[in-house]
Amino acid sequence: MKSCDFVLIQEPWTYKVAIRGPKEVGGERIYSRSTQNPRACILIKKGFQILPLMHHCSRDLTAVKIKTSDRGPREIIHGSAYLPYNDAELPPPGELERLVMVFRTEGTHLIIGCDANSHHTSWGSTNINSRGESLFNYIMANGLDIMNRGNRPTFATSKRQEVIDITIATFHAGNLIKDWHVTEEVSRSDHRYIRFNVMGIDHSVITYRRSRRTDWESFRTDLSGCLSGMTDKINHFTDLEITANQLQDAIAFAYNENGPLTVRRNSRITTG
């Protein structure tokens, strides 16, 4: 994979409960560590102002808030969603609906990359199936834009090719997306890479949190709330690993919620 700043991944390669690769993209891997075989992940290079939205993360959905430059909107929510093809209910799933409802109501810019497993000619598929019709109706009813361009297949095997991966965005976020395209790169998967640029994200800042500025009382309250739903039953080593990851997620969420970001300019990056 060529260099990029963030990657919206569905059906990533996992080992036990951890997501591996792609090695070409360093930085932070954001996904739900409280579930086995996560199917949605976001990779983001170091240096961005981010806030993982762990209360919107599950096996099939990951969301992160990215702070932007003065030239663009104040923040953009990026989501990665996997819509299971064998789900008994037609898309979209409830967790995706809740994500869209919360941030669309707030007026926050939202961009979501989906392995939709759905066919509709509006995003370049060769036909329309019931899943695609249901998802398309939802997108239209909620004022979202489909960013797909052309009909180059996003899924390809020796037996068939189809467009089943889509990028959706709120109206103003869609205006920030440029050069959306399906690439010729070898992806080592039956899905092809989709690339696009998002205007207004500031690459020239470095962010970090200082522990002495953390509201520790509020941290303890939030951490206690996160831990209250954890199970204390450990019957197998995989239960121990899942519990450890849940604890890690809870601590990270509480710390990020109560430790204000410190921002400084990266002098090694030139902006124009």
Which pLDDT tens digit goes with each residue over 203-223? 444 455 677 788 888 888 878
| Residue whose C-alpha is closest to residue 112's, from 91, 127, 133, 130 | 91
Domain presence at residue 271:
no
Do 61 and 155 fall into the same domain?
Answer: yes
* Positive/negative CA dihedral, 247, 250, 255, 258: negative
Among 164, 188, 203, identify where a domain stops.
203
Among 184, 203, 222, identify where a domain stops.
203
One-letter amino acid at 48 equals F
Residue 9: its H or E element: strand 6-10
State how far the Cα of 249 lies from the Cα of 55, in Å rounded to an integer.
10
Task: Look at the block and give the residue holding tokens 């409960």.
Answer: 17
Q: What percent of the chain has pLDDT over 70?
A: 75
Domain presence at residue 44:
yes
Domain presence at residue 229:
yes
> Tell me, what CATH number does 198's domain have?
3.60.10.10
- The DSSP call for residue 93 is P
pTM over 0.85: no
Query: Which tens digit of pLDDT belongs to each residue from 35-60?
Result: 778 899 998 877 777 888 988 999 99
Give residues with Cβ within 8 angstroms of 86, minimum separation 6.
none
Domain presence at residue 238:
yes
Do 212 and 186 fall into the same domain?
Answer: no
- Compute the C-alpha angle 1/70/148, nearest 5°: 40
**Which residue range forms the structural domain that includes residue 77?**
6-203
Residue 149: its H or E element: none
Domain presence at residue 165:
yes
Residue 111: its H or E element: strand 109-115
Residue 265 tokens, joined: 């300019």
Do 256 and 125 fall into the same domain?
Answer: no
Domain presence at residue 270:
no
Give residues with Cβ within 8 angstroms of 1, minimum separation 6.
7, 22, 24, 25, 185, 187, 193
Q: pLDDT band at 261, cuts 50/70/90? A: low
Give residues with Cβ within 8 angstroms of 5, minimum separation 6.
44, 45, 48, 201, 203
Residue 205 bridge partners (DSSP):
265
Do 106 and 228 fall into the same domain?
Answer: no
Strand 50-52 vs strand 194-198: parallel, antiparallel, or unpaired?
unpaired
* Positive/negative CA dihedral, 187, 242, 100, 78: negative
Do 133 and 40 fall into the same domain?
Answer: yes
Q: How far is C-alpha 192 from the geometric centre of its chain's CA atoms?
A: 17
Among 203, 232, 255, identify where a domain stops.
203
Q: Do 96 and 84 meet the contact criterion of CB atoms below 8 Å apart?
A: no
One-letter amino acid at 219 equals F
Do 193 and 213 fall into the same domain?
Answer: no
Question: Residue 141: how many CB atoms within 10 A of its CB?
Answer: 8
User: Which of residues 15 and 172 earns the better pLDDT score?
Assistant: 172
Q: Do 119 and 164 meet the contact criterion of CB atoms below 8 Å apart?
A: yes
Do 230 and 116 fall into the same domain?
Answer: no
Domain presence at residue 272:
no
pLDDT at 133 over 60: yes
Count up the domains in the chain and report the number. 2
Domain presence at residue 1:
no
Do 119 and 226 fall into the same domain?
Answer: no
Residue 6 bridge partners (DSSP):
44
| Residue whose C-alpha is closest to residue 54's, from 73, 37, 68, 38 | 38
Do 220 and 104 fall into the same domain?
Answer: no
pLDDT at 89 over 70: yes
Do 185 and 231 fall into the same domain?
Answer: no
Query: Which tens digit of pLDDT belongs to each residue from 10-34?
Result: 887 765 555 655 554 556 788 887 7
Do 144 and 77 fall into the same domain?
Answer: yes
Do 55 and 149 fall into the same domain?
Answer: yes
